[in-house]
Structure 1
């Protein structure tokens, strides 16, 4: 039961701001995604491979506020915070077994939908990011083929993800526990530094790096 990278998550104050952040750096436009009724959010997407994609996600202003914290730390963001590469999601075929090994970090397994898609995903009770986004959220899709296969191929592919954390051994222990395999590289940070990510993406305009944020 291995896990691998499923998608990257860009959180933003709104979808247009998040998409502009990505397009400015990668030189490609994103596709419409859809709404997540349980979370009061919506997204736009960019294919990064046959089973990998990038997601820009934001609070849906037309949706009813959920009776629980939204996922990906969206309720903990300042109102006008810039778009940022917040975290990543790892795919598994046995989410309940895998998540048991790190439940205190990733949270409970919950059902989710977007349009005709359905899946199970881990969400901490307070909606926070696992280890401030350094550890992955876990996902198991409820159908085949992978939804990335339905996205337009714009010539973008994820090459590597760099994770910077004050305790990389703790992140490594989680990746070992979930039997993760993929191009994720851990780097140490000085004490009290904020964890962050860099994604290296092949684009039609060469290799581009998606930074943590841009003010």
Structure 2
């Protein structure tokens, strides 16, 4: 199987300490992630690295400059004690059609909702994504995203570390494969506890993150 999933939009590496994780990524790879922006009202911000083509890595963590959000931060960031690759996103050609098709075949991707992020230059990015509804709880099944008319983050001059592979382990790989097939993508899977691993090509050679 191709170890770069079809329709990959981005990989989410979440952390309880954004500055420390960005620094560690830079030390290991020789590439400094670019500031992405602030998720206002959600208590998080991110840094980004291009993965080649129309895909990127999102390093996401708490934003110390925002007040405590009214609810939990996205992706369970509040419960992390170390950086962890939590999930990934795909970008289907038609988000609403993909959601409807998955539901018709027995998989609920969750409802589609609007999101936004303020870039460091003040520009506002807007996108739509599935909110999780009743997905596989491991995060191995991706959420869906549509950037609409907003310029894609990968087109914003990001530093790039080409993605060599994204792989995962799962207690029941066949179950995950069947759900991924409903979404028109795939993931190199083997049996084991639910977890991700991705490898990027860098000036320091291939580097793997979990």
The alpha-carbon deviation at position 37 of structure 1 amounts to 1.7
> Which of 53, 57, 62 is the equivalent residue of 2:60?
57
Partner of 1:119: 127
Q: Give the alignment of 1:90-109 within 5 angstroms.
A: 90-100=90-100, 101=102, 106-109=109-112
Does residue 19 of the first structure (1) align with residue 22 of the second (2)? yes
TM-score, normalised with respect to structure 2: 0.83
Structure holding more strand per residue: 1
> Which of 72, 89, 106 is the equivalent residue of 2:75?
72
The 3-state SS of whatever aligns with 1:131 is: coil
Pair 1:107–1:69, CA change in 2 (3 A)? farther
Partner of 1:173: 178
TM-score, normalised with respect to structure 1: 0.81
The list of structure 1 runs, each at least 4 consecutive aligned residues, that deviate by more than 6 angstroms after superposition, is: none
> Which of 26, 42, 46 is the equivalent residue of 1:43?
46
Q: Deviations over 1:93-134 (max 9, x none)?
A: 3222223416866422110011221111122369xx843221
Q: CA RMSD in A?
A: 2.5
Distance 1:87 1:25 in 2: 22
Partner of 1:141: 147
Distance 1:69 1:170 in 2: 29
The alpha-carbon deviation at position 157 of structure 1 amounts to 0.5
Partner of 2:36: 33
Distance 2:55 2:61 in 1: 20
The 3-state SS of whatever aligns with 2:137 is: helix
Pair 1:73–1:123, CA change in 2 (3 A)? farther
- The question of whether the paired residues in 2 share the 8 Å contact of 1:46 and 1:151 is answered with no
* Unmatched segments (≥5 aa) in structure 1: none
- The question of whether the paired residues in 2 share the 8 Å contact of 1:117 and 1:142 is answered with no
Pair 1:161–1:3, CA change in 2 (3 A)? closer
Distance 2:41 2:92 in 1: 22
Q: Deviations over 1:76-96 (max 9, x none)?
A: x14xx0111221111123222
Partner of 1:87: 87
Partner of 1:110: 113
* Unmatched segments (≥5 aa) in structure 2: 119-123
The alpha-carbon deviation at position 140 of structure 1 amounts to 0.8
The alpha-carbon deviation at position 65 of structure 1 amounts to 4.1
